[in-house]
Amino acid sequence: MAYSMKDQVVNLKKQATPFYHYDLALLDNTLDAINRAVENTCFKVHYAIKANANDEILERIRLKGLGIDCVSGNEVKKAIQSGFSPKNIAFAGVGKTDDEINYGLDQEIFTFNVESIAELHVINELAQVKGKIAGIAIRLNPNVNAKTHHYITTGLEENKFGINAWELPELFDVLPRLTNLNLKGIHFHIGSQINDLTVFKSLCNRVNDFQTQFKERGIILDHVNVGGGLGVNYSAPNEASIPNFESFFQVFKDFLKVQPNQEVHFELGRSVVAQCGSLISRVLYIKEGIKTNFAILDAGMTELIRPALYQSFHKIENLSQLGEANAKKYDVVGPICESSDCFGKAIDLPETKRGDLIAIRSAGAYGEVMSSFYNLREKAKAYYVS
């Protein structure tokens, strides 16, 4: 049976809006689907905590046995405070500060995913001072086009992420001299919201090439980390409430050449949490414009910035009006003093009135974590069903 928000929100009608609504049962089912898809394989999944660092969500993810992928020192801290073992924490990012690196060293995290040769030297020096050996993975730039929005494409040579293929000779030259580093693996992450699985096939081919080059130098890698990026269906959150993990992992089963005793790590963010969250808001005003009607909500880009930042689509539903009778087109906008504060243009909704409850769907990933206090707005609360 297809998922329905209308069943979910009945009990939340009295809550002050806007708020984030999380369906923890759907999250559990999503995590079970992931675990089923990687059962009896050498695949290990880390959750990219930057997608949503809400305590309740992290707790469910921890209970289902995933590790954590971080991109800041505070994310590492949050993961540890939430009960994740440092042994299951990877830390990526092009601009790690000395403080962040020192913190990771103190906690003895699994790996620093190192994005430049300069960073290798810095981590080595800081580890030396502490008399420690830092676990590292080298983030390589595979020059694969993720065919997604250019703001969330990260695996092209023109992007700032990772070490490029032409730097490999220098890398192989310096690595043996950096004696406070323990090279455990190589890491890739080509972008986000990727729905074309052939992109991951291209990634596998590039990873195989890189693996060969390491092998030729006698370097054994415990793991290959192929990152995250699996997209979700923003148009059909009810029908596609759980992404097709089976076919995603199958691409790697089919095309990645895994070495003996090697683990393959994944870092999924969006695909784990996007569909279990909605932003719930009330209509403050209906305003008739020259060409269009505006439905002005009490939620804005401060609660969900993706439409304003990436022109991304989120399904918008009126939970107070049943059926599609008297459907009209509305530009659904927020109250913030920016014309980009718009959740959708010319959206078909049943005739909508002041006070109606509106759901902006698939807001579980990159919603609450990207919220801001712009216009001195209050942080929206989160409510849960399970």
The alpha carbon of residue 371 and the mean position of all alpha carbons in its chain are separated, in whole angstroms, by: 15
Position 270 contacts ligand PLP (CB under 6 A): yes
In the region spanning residues 74 to 93, those forming contacts with ligand PLP, defined by CB under 6 A, are 92
With the C-alpha atoms ordered 82, 84, 85, 87, is the resulting torsion angle positive or negative?
A: negative
CB closer to ligand PLP, 334 vs 364 = 364
* Least spacing, CB of residue 266 vs ligand PLP, in Å: 9
* Least spacing, CB of residue 194 vs ligand PLP, in Å: 7
Question: What phi and psi values does residue 269 have, to the nearest 5 degrees?
Answer: -120, -80
* Residue type present at position 69: D
* Least spacing, CB of residue 60 vs ligand PLP, in Å: 17
Instruction: Using DSSP, state whether 180 is helix, strand or coil.
Output: coil
Task: Decide: 84 and 64 in contact? Cβ < 8 Å.
Answer: no
**What DSSP string describes 221-268?**
-SEEE----B---SS-TTTTSS--HHHHHHHHHHH--PPTT-EEEEEE
Which run of H or E residues covers position 318? strand 316-318
Task: Decide: 273 and 57 in contact? Cβ < 8 Å.
Answer: yes
Whether the bond into 18 is cis, omega within 30 of 0:
yes
Site track 201-240 with ligand PLP (rule: CB under 6 A), x = hit = --------------------------xxxx----------
CB closer to ligand PLP, 158 vs 378 = 158
* Least spacing, CB of residue 7 vs ligand PLP, in Å: 27
In the region spanning residues 43 to 62, those forming contacts with ligand PLP, defined by CB under 6 A, are 48, 50-51
* Least spacing, CB of residue 69 vs ligand PLP, in Å: 5
* Least spacing, CB of residue 51 vs ligand PLP, in Å: 5
CB closer to ligand PLP, 64 vs 328 = 64
For ligand PLP, the binding residue among 5, 26, 69, 303 (CB under 6 A) is 69
CB closer to ligand PLP, 5 vs 92 = 92
196-204, 216-224, 265-273, 345-353 -> range binding ligand PLP (CB under 6 A)? 265-273
In the region spanning residues 146 to 175, those forming contacts with ligand PLP, defined by CB under 6 A, are none
- The Cα–Cα gap between 325 and 350 comes to 6
85-99 b/e (C-beta count within 10 Å ≥ 16 → b):
ebebbbbbbeebeee
* Least spacing, CB of residue 268 vs ligand PLP, in Å: 5
Which residues are near ligand PLP by CB under 6 A? 48, 50-51, 69, 71, 92, 189, 192, 227-230, 267-271
